[in-house]
Amino acid sequence: MTIATPLAEEFGAEGDEAARARWMALVEKTLKGQSFDEALTVTTPDGLTIQPLYTARDGVVVARDLRPRDIDRPWDVRTRAAHPDPERAAQEILTDLENGAASVLLRIDPTGVDGVAIGSANDLSRALSGVMLDLAPVALDAGFLGPKAADWLGALAKAAPNAPLTFHLDPLTAFAQAGASPGPIESHVFNAATVASRLAETYVKASLFLATGRAAHEAGGSNTEELAMMTASALTYAKALVRSGLSMEDAFGRIVLGVSLDGEYFTGVAKVRAAKAMWARLTQACGVAVPPRIEARSSRRMLAKADAWTNLLRLTSAGFAGAVGGADAIVLDAFTDAIGLPTAFARRQARNTQLVLMEESNLGRVADPAGGAWYLDSLTDQLARAAWGGFQAIEAAGGLIKALESGGIADAVTKARVAQQAAFADKSRKILGVTVFPNADDKTPEVETPDASAFAVAAPDVRLPGPDSHCPALTPVRFAAAFEGA
């Protein structure tokens, strides 16, 4: 635990080793023979070091994003829609938008098992019935179906050039999670870029690709592995867009970075800020100056079924980290998502958590409020440097696709996952309500349990010519599952 106290003032000017030595002598006396490093210094799952006290000597220069933010709406409150029935999804979307949400993330799955059962432009029209696309941004989450879904959404917007569409094309995440692609993955990336460049001509405000390391995170990977994959993904998509006719500046300007946030809010704040630092370095290396746009999503691997109410604490911490870190859009899952689809009550909780952070806690009224905090600047710098090294390793292996196919990324993620699972097992890391303070009177919250098969539709063929690509799948995990029984 890092201590923030007036003790730091006693150190005087940077480099006052005598004052630090006096403090260390008091600490060692208090520890009664214990090692300072073992007793008070913490090593994160990323291998980063957190000290118990930070002073001016620990200050580092971190790239800061000081763009002015809208005081009333400092970030986009984004709600997630995944009910298999398109008409029910439309009702939930409108309810969210009418009650404080600003945009929607639409998860598409023709089978209805893991998203809205959409397989055509007509199905998408039903799911977005009543949504004013020129006012409320709609973000897609469609996997390999992304290019077709983007065309459907573009048609629904009726060529309104100012429609803030968010196509979120992301075949690399779909490939990493599935472990295979229907046809060469390189072809899917280029096909997505071709569709994106065509849509970009009409929709000047639309974002095209989502570059994220979410697949690594949800499979149990470390923060640095997630950030490295995010950066490699951004570079891959930018190259594909340039190849499809966009300028380098426009290509980077149409990419959104995706960051996953769990209940460790200090690390989450540093992760969002590190993502911005890495973006600044990447774009500078490519000869352009484009500000980052970040969509932060709450982690699904952190959610618990046992005492699911404790998920509200985890989700609030994730929202706090996204807001303080300076995310442009934040998506918080419902606290019951580990159990089933949310009821109206659970959706309201997900929505109102962000509204309280925004309107009552006023977290968005200061640009980069973590800037200048020696601890958070140091942690941000460590994360960014370690992740940049991981990104360089990916590029040295031939780029993200080659690194996925070779199994290098999967091996690193597996190692990180096993280490984290061991930490939860020996309780050096704890899961509230599961491994510590279990609730003997736990009552499972209500959830929606629709029959997905009743809404399933025919899926369009997304296969492209050529042999399928393969890689070790980054299968999502949920850390609490190992301790919850059946």
pLDDT at 118: 98
Q: Taking 80 as the threshold, does the pLDDT of residue 241 lie above it? A: yes
Contacts of 352 (CB under 8 A, 6+ apart): 100
Please give the span between the terminal C-alpha atoms of the chain, in angstroms, as a whole number.
34
State both tokens at 104.
């929607």
- Which 8-state DSSP code applies to residue 482? G
Task: Express each pLDDT in 246-297 by its tens digit.
Answer: 999 999 999 999 999 999 999 999 999 999 999 999 999 999 999 999 999 9
Task: Express each pLDDT in 93-121 by its tens digit.
Answer: 999 999 999 999 999 999 999 999 999 99
Q: Taking 60 as the threshold, does the pLDDT of residue 4 lie above it? A: no
- Hey, what's the torsion of the CAs at 321, 325, 328, 329, to 10 degrees? -10
- Which 8-state DSSP code applies to residue 356? I
Q: Taking 80 as the threshold, does the pLDDT of residue 383 lie above it? A: yes
* Coil vs helix vs strand at 447: coil
The arithmetic mean of pLDDT across residues 193-213, rounded, is: 97
CA distance 144 to 155: 19
Residues 78 and 103 sit within 8 Å (Cβ to Cβ): yes
CA distance 302 to 430: 11
Task: Express each pLDDT in 315-373 by its tens digit.
Answer: 999 999 999 999 999 999 999 999 999 999 999 999 999 999 999 999 988 888 998 89
Q: Taking 60 as the threshold, does the pLDDT of residue 3 lie above it? A: no
Categorize the per-residue pLDDT at 43 as very low, low, confident or very high, splitting at 50, 70 and 90: confident
Categorize the per-residue pLDDT at 63 as very low, low, confident or very high, splitting at 50, 70 and 90: confident
Categorize the per-residue pLDDT at 380 as very low, low, confident or very high, splitting at 50, 70 and 90: very high
Look up residue 63 and give its amino acid: A
Percent of the chain predicted with pLDDT > 90: 81
Categorize the per-residue pLDDT at 54 as very low, low, confident or very high, splitting at 50, 70 and 90: confident
Categorize the per-residue pLDDT at 22 as very low, low, confident or very high, splitting at 50, 70 and 90: confident
Categorize the per-residue pLDDT at 47 as very low, low, confident or very high, splitting at 50, 70 and 90: confident
Residues 236 and 289 sit within 8 Å (Cβ to Cβ): no
* Coil vs helix vs strand at 256: strand
Categorize the per-residue pLDDT at 59 as very low, low, confident or very high, splitting at 50, 70 and 90: confident
pLDDT at 16: 64
Categorize the per-residue pLDDT at 71 as very low, low, confident or very high, splitting at 50, 70 and 90: confident
Q: Which domains does the chain have, with CATH numbers?
A: 76-405 (3.20.20.240)
Task: Express each pLDDT in 223-233 by its tens digit.
Answer: 999 999 999 99
Categorize the per-residue pLDDT at 8 as very low, low, confident or very high, splitting at 50, 70 and 90: very low
DSSP string, 213-246: -HHHHHTT--HHHHHHHHHHHHHHHHHHHHHTT-
- Hey, what's the torsion of the CAs at 373, 378, 383, 386, to 10 degrees? 160
pLDDT at 10: 53
Residues 416 and 219 sit within 8 Å (Cβ to Cβ): no
Q: Taking 60 as the threshold, does the pLDDT of residue 222 lie above it? A: yes
CA distance 275 to 296: 11
Q: Count of CB atoms within 10 A of residue 208's CB?
A: 29
User: What is the pTM assigned to this prediction?
Assistant: 0.93
Determine which of 51-65, 171-185, 470-484 has the lowest per-residue pLDDT on average: 51-65
Percent of the chain predicted with pLDDT > 70: 97
Nearest one of 46, 12, 101 to 332, comparing CA atoms: 101
Categorize the per-residue pLDDT at 70 as very low, low, confident or very high, splitting at 50, 70 and 90: confident
The arithmetic mean of pLDDT across residues 38-52, rounded, is: 83
Residue written as token pair 């779909």? 174
Determine which of 41-55, 68-82, 298-312 has the lowest per-residue pLDDT on average: 41-55
Task: Express each pLDDT in 132-178 by its tens digit.
Answer: 999 999 999 999 999 999 999 999 999 888 999 999 999 999 999 99
Residues 111 and 142 sit within 8 Å (Cβ to Cβ): no
Contacts of 341 (CB under 8 A, 6+ apart): 82, 83, 447, 448, 449, 450
Q: Taking 80 as the threshold, does the pLDDT of residue 465 lie above it? A: yes
Q: Taking 50 as the threshold, does the pLDDT of residue 5 lie above it? A: no
Segment holding 105, helix H or strand E: strand 103-107
Residue written as token pair 């089933």? 340
The arithmetic mean of pLDDT across residues 478-482, rounded, is: 96
Q: Taking 50 as the threshold, does the pLDDT of residue 2 lie above it? A: no
pLDDT at 26: 83
H-helix segments, 115-162 = 121-127, 146-156
* Coil vs helix vs strand at 312: helix
The arithmetic mean of pLDDT across residues 207-229, rounded, is: 98
DSSP string, 27-62: HHHHHTT--HHHHH-EE-TTS-EE-S---GGG----
